[in-house]
Amino acid sequence: MASKPGILTDWPWKSLGSFKYVILAPWVVHSIYTLIIKDGKERDPVYVLFFPFLLWRTLHNQIWISLARYRTAKGNNRIVDKSIEFEQVDRESNWDDQILLNGILFYVGYMILPGAAHMPLWRTDGVLLTILLHMGPVEFLYYWLHRALHHHYLYSRYHSHHHSSIVTEPITSVIHPFAEHLAYFLLFSIPLLAGIFMRKNSIAALFGYISYIDFMNNMGHCNFELIPKMLFSIFPPLKYLMYTPSYHSLHHTRFRTNYSLFMPIYDYIYGTMDKSSDALYEKSLIRPEELLHVVHLTHLVTPQSIYHLRLGFASLASKPYTYRWYVWAMWPVTCGSIMLTWTYGRTFILERNQFNKVNVQTWVVPKFKIQYLLKLGNESIDSLIEEAILKADKRGIKVLSLSLLNQGDELNSYGELYIHRNPKLKIKVVDGSSLAVAVVLNSIPKGTTQVLFRGNLTKVAYFIASALCQMDIQVATSHGDEYEQLNTKLKNVECESKLLLSKSFTEKIWLVGDGLTKEEQIKASKGTLFIPFSQFPPKRLRKDCLYLTTPAMMSPKSFQNIDSCEQVKTEESYEESWAKLRSHVPRVNPDCKEKKQRESAIKPILDDSRSSHFWSIF
């Protein structure tokens, strides 16, 4: 929002929310009517093409959004290093409003303007006229309109809304108040109206010109440099005819330079070209990927989760639990992505963060949860994980943490398989088990002397049982096979006297994992406290019992680039509580008599050879 919003700041359909698309209904009906009712001679193809073209514009913008987010996360050629704030994400969520506005105005104008109907597919003179009028009147008038918008009166009421985004994304290009968009529409209509009045209009000129504006707008705000230097070497005058992303980025960081639309020539003519433009272009063009310290290797969850990625649709990524009917309507795309990842796929970068001076990236193995659970293509998954570890090790990354399904016992023994295969690895492969054990142990009430252990036994479970025995807490199990497994695993630890086989279910503290049944919960005594040691807490079936949940993530202020709720990805939000250093670990009461005993039991776990280096980085 502008600092002092002027008249016509808000969009007329703002109150409609997600139902704003219904404003297109009358023109959609008219388009369908002309297609069905009118015969071949009377039927105008432009009416039929208008709304597919709006969809193309939406897709075009989305491609740029995904590409820019991927490239800025990767780091090479990035221009501005600052992170995007929550407020910017919210402000730019209505980027498709300008597509609706332009669609309606162009459609109505096409209906009422004489000479507009039944335009041909191509006219060379009309295309050339559009190019010349853009290079002349449009670029010239935009330059002076833009400078006028930087006058304090108009800037504070309108244009400051756009300049609130210092770090730009492609969609930043169309984030303006409603009144400002009306001015831009009139300006960009000059070549199209001239073509109509001079009877030189064509479908190619109409749709091509609008696509050109979208392309240049998105490119100029993408925050990574992509224009090769070779182009300017082959044709030096090009620097006056086409701007670069770094050129326009300076306008957002310095405000009083580089006003031109797409052609810097007017900045050169009127002396407003930033002197550092060439230097920033050169610097951005050769910038390498940033030095990383930590990589989190995650995976896809459900087939629809591809739309919840930050690289995908922002509106879906910010609300992963909200039902959207059109996601199910996109099942052909979803099925296609499944088949693609099944047969071919490479680990890709999803996001970047910074924790104090530690640079972190999230990489995604393009495999779905069902592929892990059904053990379909385990060799392929194993190969992708190992390939990512070796790549990270080659780049000098210090730590790689494995997400939930990427650290399965049967898949790779919590990452130990790769350490044995590659004994010369310098990178530390961690699975978050140390943090999980610490969380569970600190969640047990002081004074506890006995707990009931129930659930599938994992690495975390064995560590917890070992620590409890060293804390003189008895560990009871209700299943004979679990009792034998614990005895076998902990035979080198003095735990034999602390392990019990119990069928009474009278214990007040239950440590539970995956595999806890409904019947077992019913057998628990009133007031029992259920503490989960797995990534997902048990379902709450008893109102007379207490349930602790998996710790929520707390992002400290020094953790950068947490720019929206788009980082929450359904089930992954639980696993990252364990695998990433974002969890809120309950503190031991300083006055607790058991503090030293707890610390002595937890310390060996946190200091194991695979995780100690992970903690030392921070």
How confident is the model at residue 613, as a pLDDT?
35
Distances (CA, A) of 41 to 28, 115, 584: 21, 16, 70
How confident is the model at residue 493, as a pLDDT?
64
User: Taking residues 155-183, what's their average pLDDT?
Assistant: 96
Stronger pLDDT, 176 or 580, i.e. the higher one: 176
User: Taking residues 151-169, what's their average pLDDT?
Assistant: 95
Q: Which amino acid is at 439?
A: V
Best-predicted range by mean pLDDT among 253-257, 311-315, 565-569?
Answer: 253-257
- Work out the burial of residue 453: count CB atoms within 10 Å of its CB; fewer than 13 is exposed, 13-18 middle, 19 or more buried: buried
How confident is the model at residue 364, as a pLDDT?
93
Q: Which of 32-36, 355-359, 569-573, 595-599 has the lowest mean pLDDT?
A: 569-573
The partner residues of 362 in beta bridges, in order of sequence, read 296, 351
Gap between the Cα atoms of 40 and 57, Å rounded? 27
Gap between the Cα atoms of 54 and 48, Å rounded? 11
| Residue 582: pLDDT over 60 | no
pLDDT bracket for residue 57 (50, 70, 90): very high
Distances (CA, A) of 617 to 439, 472, 559: 20, 32, 15
How confident is the model at residue 253, as a pLDDT?
95
Q: pLDDT, tens digit, for every residue of 371-417?
A: 888 877 788 899 999 999 999 999 999 999 998 889 888 888 888 89
Q: Which of 309-323, 326-340, 362-376 has the lowest mean pLDDT?
A: 309-323
How confident is the model at residue 354, as a pLDDT?
87
**Average confidence score pLDDT of the chain:** 86
Stronger pLDDT, 62 or 600, i.e. the higher one: 62
Concatenate the DSSP letters of all residues of 9-68 into one string: -S-TTGGGGGGGGGGGHHHHHHHHHHHHTS-TTT--HHHHHHHHHHHHHHHHHHHHHHHH
How confident is the model at residue 552, as a pLDDT?
61
C-alpha dihedral sign at 165, 167, 172, 173: positive
Q: Which of 307-311, 561-565, 581-585 has the lowest mean pLDDT?
A: 581-585
| CATH class entry, domain 294-431 | alpha beta
Fold of domain 434-550+594-608: Rossmann fold (3.40.50)
User: Taking residues 25-44, what's their average pLDDT?
Assistant: 88
User: Taking residues 527-533, what's their average pLDDT?
Assistant: 93
| Residue 154: pLDDT over 70 | yes
Which among 497, 501, 492, 416 is positioned nearest to 459, based on CA atoms?
416
Which residue ranges does the chain devote to CATH 3.40.50.720? 434-550+594-608
Which among 435, 524, 425, 443 is positioned nearest to 478, based on CA atoms?
524
Stronger pLDDT, 579 or 318, i.e. the higher one: 318
Which residue ranges does the chain devote to CATH 3.40.220? 294-431
- Work out the burial of residue 185: count CB atoms within 10 Å of its CB; fewer than 13 is exposed, 13-18 middle, 19 or more buried: middle
Gap between the Cα atoms of 41 and 324, Å rounded? 40
User: Taking residues 503-508, what's their average pLDDT?
Assistant: 89
Q: Which of 362-366, 435-439, 510-514 has the lowest mean pLDDT?
A: 435-439
Structure tokens at 245: 């992303």
In this structure, are strands 399-402 and 509-512 parallel, antiparallel, or unpaired? unpaired
Distances (CA, A) of 479 to 197, 449, 483, 517, 536: 86, 20, 6, 12, 21
| Residue 616: pLDDT over 70 | no
Q: Give SS3 for 363.
A: strand
Q: Which residue has the tokens 């993530």?
A: 553
Gap between the Cα atoms of 188 and 242, Å rounded? 17
The partner residues of 549 in beta bridges, in order of sequence, read none
Structure tokens at 351: 């996001």
Model pTM score: 0.83
